[in-house]
Amino acid sequence: MNRQRPRGDLSQAIGKVLRYGVVLSSAVAAVGLALLLLAPPSGSPVSVEGMLDANFGRPTFNPTELIAGTAAGNPISLLELGTLILLATPLVRVAASVLLFLRDGDFLYVGITMIVLGTLLVAIFVVGPTQA
């Protein structure tokens, strides 16, 4: 017995992924910002000029430090985590689309969405690091 799912089901699922991703990233970033404003971490520059001189905020990513900093309640780590969640939300949306199209048996869209997902992953993990 093959029950056809309405197209609205797909749109609702994708909408939930996007909504939850934005809400989660906003909540994490808000906690990080609140902690940063209440108690700035020691050693952080106090002015914009100081930030530029110290090369503060340069693009670095160390997953081990991010996890340890988040677990310790480091406000900068929480802000970074919130940003990563926000950036990952569209990627999760595309991956969820693959699964939903697969569930619905729509193999043409599974293939097209897999190409999009592959292109995004190559851009993020191959092209991005070579450009940094």
What does the pLDDT look like over 7-58, one tens digit per residue? 567 778 888 889 999 999 999 999 999 998 888 777 766 776 766 666 655 5
Determine contact, residues 45/54, Cβ cutoff 8 Å: yes
Residue 52, amino acid: L
Residue 13 is assigned to a structural domain of this protein = yes
Q: Which domain, by its residues, includes 101?
A: 7-131
Q: What's the farthest any 2 CA atoms get from each other in the chain?
A: 68
What's the half-sphere exposure (Cβ side, CA atoms, 13 Å) at 32?
20
Number of domains in the chain: 1
Q: pLDDT tens for residues 48-86? A: 676 666 665 556 678 888 899 899 988 888 998 999 999
In a domain, 2, yes or no: no
Domain contains 36: yes
Residue 14 falls inside a structural domain:
yes
